[in-house]
C-alpha cells in the first residue's frame, strides 16, 4: 500500500509555502511516500485577486515539478462571513470544513497507509477529527520558535493574569525563552479575553500540547533560548511538552510562480552595486494595507535617505484589487527624481529571489516569519516594521534577542514618518549599528546552511522524525 502523509496548511501564502517545502523535504528522505496537501478555499475579503492567481500558478508549478505532491482542494463553504476579523476567519473556515476533512482522510486511509497528518495551528479543528480516526497528528508551526513558546505558554498566562493584554498597556509580559514583551505588542488576536478568536487560540494551544509532535520552521542557532525553553518543558508547565522538531529554515528559494520569465526587477538588481539596495515588501495577506498618506511618507523617506531602493507598492486598502496608479499615489516627480537609484514594482515581486540577490543590502519587512527566514538565508539585515498577527512580538525578538534587525518606531496612530524611515535606512546601510546587524545576519546565513546539511541540527531533527514516520503503523 502507498504510504501517504497529509499536510493541512491554513490560508495564507506564507503558511502554504512552508508546508510545500515540508512536503519536498519529506520526499527527499522518503522518495516512495506521497504527499497530499489539503487546500482551503479563500473566503477572506482581504485576499487580492493577484495574490490568489499567483498562488494558483505556484501550486500548478509545484505539481508539475514534483508529481508526488498532490493538492486536494476542499469544497467551498457557503455563507462564510468574509469580513470577519481575519484570524477568526482563519480558524472558522477549517472548522466548517471538518466533515470534508473527515471524509478525505477516510478515503485516503482506505487506499493508502496514512503515516501522519500535519496541520497548521489555524486548522486546529481537524485535531479532533484525526484523533477520532486514530491518525497521528503533528502541528507544523510556520512561525518562529519564540512564537511557539508564546503560543504554548498562553494557557498559563491566561491563568496567571486577570486582565486582557489590551487593558495592560505597556506592562511587560514574561514568556520562557523570550525577552520581555510589552502587552501592547502581543498579537491582536489574543488581546481580548472575551473574544471568540482568543478562545480559539487557547483551544489550539491546549491541543498542540497533546499532539504527537511540533515541527517548527527555525534552527537551533537562530533561536537558541526559545528552543531551549520549549525543549525544557518551560512553556507547558502543567504537563508534558510533545517532542519539538526544529527543521528549518524551509524557504522557497526558486521562482515561486513557476514562471520562466525573469522579473524586470531582477534585471535591474543585476546592474546595482553589491549589497547597496534596500528592499521594501510587506507580505502577501493584504490585511493592513498602507494608507495613501503612509505611502507618501515612505516615498519621501526613501528619497531623502539617498540610498538605492526596490519597493513593492500596493494600493491602499480601498482599492486592493486594482493596480496601483503610481503617478497618483506617489509625490509628484518622485519616480523621475529617483529613477537612477530606485525601482518600484507594482503589487508583487519575486521576494525570495530578490533577497538572495547579491545587490540587496537591507530589507524593510512586516516581520512575517517566511520573510524573516528568506532574509536570514540571503544574509540580508532587516528593518522591522510589523503590521499584523504576531509581528510586533517578532520585532522585539528580532531586535533584542536575535539582533538581526533594527526597529522602526511608529507614532501612536501607527504612522511611520518619512524622517523615521530615512533615519533607519541610513542607519542600516551606513552606520556602526547597521554594521553589527549586518555581521550578525551574515553569521546566521552560514549557520542556516550548516543546520540543514548532513549532521546539522535541523537535518538531524528531521531525520529523527522521518524515521518515526517510517516505523509508525496506524
Ligand atoms: N511574497 C512574495 N512577493 C511579494 C510578497 C510576498 O514572493 O510581493 C512571499 C514572500 O517571499 C513570503 C510570503 O510571500 O514567502 C509571505 O510570507 P510571510 O510569512 O512573510 O508573510 P505573510 O504574507 O504570511 O504575512
What is the Å distance from ligand 1's center to 283 Cα? 4
Tell the residue nearest (CA) to atom 17 of ligand 1: 14
Residue 11 confidence class, pLDDT cut points 50, 70, 90: confident
Range in 40-49, 223-232, 297-306, 456-465 with the lowest mean pLDDT? 40-49
Q: Average pLDDT in the 433-456 region?
A: 97
Residue 49 has pLDDT above 80, yes or no: no
Distance (Å, whole) CA 411 – CA 170: 15
Question: What pTM, to 2 d.p., does this model score?
Answer: 0.95
Residue 14 confidence class, pLDDT cut points 50, 70, 90: confident
What is the Å distance from ligand 1's center to 370 Cα? 7
What is the Å distance from ligand 1's center to 106 Cα? 33
Range in 73-77, 422-426, 443-447 with the lowest mean pLDDT? 73-77
Residue 287 has pLDDT above 60, yes or no: no
What is the Å distance from ligand 1's center to 80 Cα? 25
ipTM value > 0.95: yes
Tell the residue nearest (CA) to atom 13 of ligand 1: 14
The better pLDDT of the pair 125, 83 is held by 125
Q: Average pLDDT in the 249-274 region?
A: 84
Q: What is the pLDDT of residue 142?
A: 93
Cell of 105: 482522510
Residue 256 confidence class, pLDDT cut points 50, 70, 90: low
Residue 131 has pLDDT above 60, yes or no: yes
Residue 59 has pLDDT above 70, yes or no: yes
Residue 12 has pLDDT above 90, yes or no: no
Tell me which residues have their CB closer than 6 angstroms to ligand 1: 12-14, 17, 256, 281, 283-285, 312, 348-352, 368-371, 374
Residue 286 has pLDDT above 90, yes or no: no
Range in 53-62, 346-355, 426-435 with the lowest mean pLDDT? 53-62
Residue 48 has pLDDT above 70, yes or no: no
Burial label, 28 (beta-carbon count in 10 A; 0-12, 13-18, 19+): exposed
Q: What is the pLDDT of residue 316?
A: 83
Amino acid at each position: 500500500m502507498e504510504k501517504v502523509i497529509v499536510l493541512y496548511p491554513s490560508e495564507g501564502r506564507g503558511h502554504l509555502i512552508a508546508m510545500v517545502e515540508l512536503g519536498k523535504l519529506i520526499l527527499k528522505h522518503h522518495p516512495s511516500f506521497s504527499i497530499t496537501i489539503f487546500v482551503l478555499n479563500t473566503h477572506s475579503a482581504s485576499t487580492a485577486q493577484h495574490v490568489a492567481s499567483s498562488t494558483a500558478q505556484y501550486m500548478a508549478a509545484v505539481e508539475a515539478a514534483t508529481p508526488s505532491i498532490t493538492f486536494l482542494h476542499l469544497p467551498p463553504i457557503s455563507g462564510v462571513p468574509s469580513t470577519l476579523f481575519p484570524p477568526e476567519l482563519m480558524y472558522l473556515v477549517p472548522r466548517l470544513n471538518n466533515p470534508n476533512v473527515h471524509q478525505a482522510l477516510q478515503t485516503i486511509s482506505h487506499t493508502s497507509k496514512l503515516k501522519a497528518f500535519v496541520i497548521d495551528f489555524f486548522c486546529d479543528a481537524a485535531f479532533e477529527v484525526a484523533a477520532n480516526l486514530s491518525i497521528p497528528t503533528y502541528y507544523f508551526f510556520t512561525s518562529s520558535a519564540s512564537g511557539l513558546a508564546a503560543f504554548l505558554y498562553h494557557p498559563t498566562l491566561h491563568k496567571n493574569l486577570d486582565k486582557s493584554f489590551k487593558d495592560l498597556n505597556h506592562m511587560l509580559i514574561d514568556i520562557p525563552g523570550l525577552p520581555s514583551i510589552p502587552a501592547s505588542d502581543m498579537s491582536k488576536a489574543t488581546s481580548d479575553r472575551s473574544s471568540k478568536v482568543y478562545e480559539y487560540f487557547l483551544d489550539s494551544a491546549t491541543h498542540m500540547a497533546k499532539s504527537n509532535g511540533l515541527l517548527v520552521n527555525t534552527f537551533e542557532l537562530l533561536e537558541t533560548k526559545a528552543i531551549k525553553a520549549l525543549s525544557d518543558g518551560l512553556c507547558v508547565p502543567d504537563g508534558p511538552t510533545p517532542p519539538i522538531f526544529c527543521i528549518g529554515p524551509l524557504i522557497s528559494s526558486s521562482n515561486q510562480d513557476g514562471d520562466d520569465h525573469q522579473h524586470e526587477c531582477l534585471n535591474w538588481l543585476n546592474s546595482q552595486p553589491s549589497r547597496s539596495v534596500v528592499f521594501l515588501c510587506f507580505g502577501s495577506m493584504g490585511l493592513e494595507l498602507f494608507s495613501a498618506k503612509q505611502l507618501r511618507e515612505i516615498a519621501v523617506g526613501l528619497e531623502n535617505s539617498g540610498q538605492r531602493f526596490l519597493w513593492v507598492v500596493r494600493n491602499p486598502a480601498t482599492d486592493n484589487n486594482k493596480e496601483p496608479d503610481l503617478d497618483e499615489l506617489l509625490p509628484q516627480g518622485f519616480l523621475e527624481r529617483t529613477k537612477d537609484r530606485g525601482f518600484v514594482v507594482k503589487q508583487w515581486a519575486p521576494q525570495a529571489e530578490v533577497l538572495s540577490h547579491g545587490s540587496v543590502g537591507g530589507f524593510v519587512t512586516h516581520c512575517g516569519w517566511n520573510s524573516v527566514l528568506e532574509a536570514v538565508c540571503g544574509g540580508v539585515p532587516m528593518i522591522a516594521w510589523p503590521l499584523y498577527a504576531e509581528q510586533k512580538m517578532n520585532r522585539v525578538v528580532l531586535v533584542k534577542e536575535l539582533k538581526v534587525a533594527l526597529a522602526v518606531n511608529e507614532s501612536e496612530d501607527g504612522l511611520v514618518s518619512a524622517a523615521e524611515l530615512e533615519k533607519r535606512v541610513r542607519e542600516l546601510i551606513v552606520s556602526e549599528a547597521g554594521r553589527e546587524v549586518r555581521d550578525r545576519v551574515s553569521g546566521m546565513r552560514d549557520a542556516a546552511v550548516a543546520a540543514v546539511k548532513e549532521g546539522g541540527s535541523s537535518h538531524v531533527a528531521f531525520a529523527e522524525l522521518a524515521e518515526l514516520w517510517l516505523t509508525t503503523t496506524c
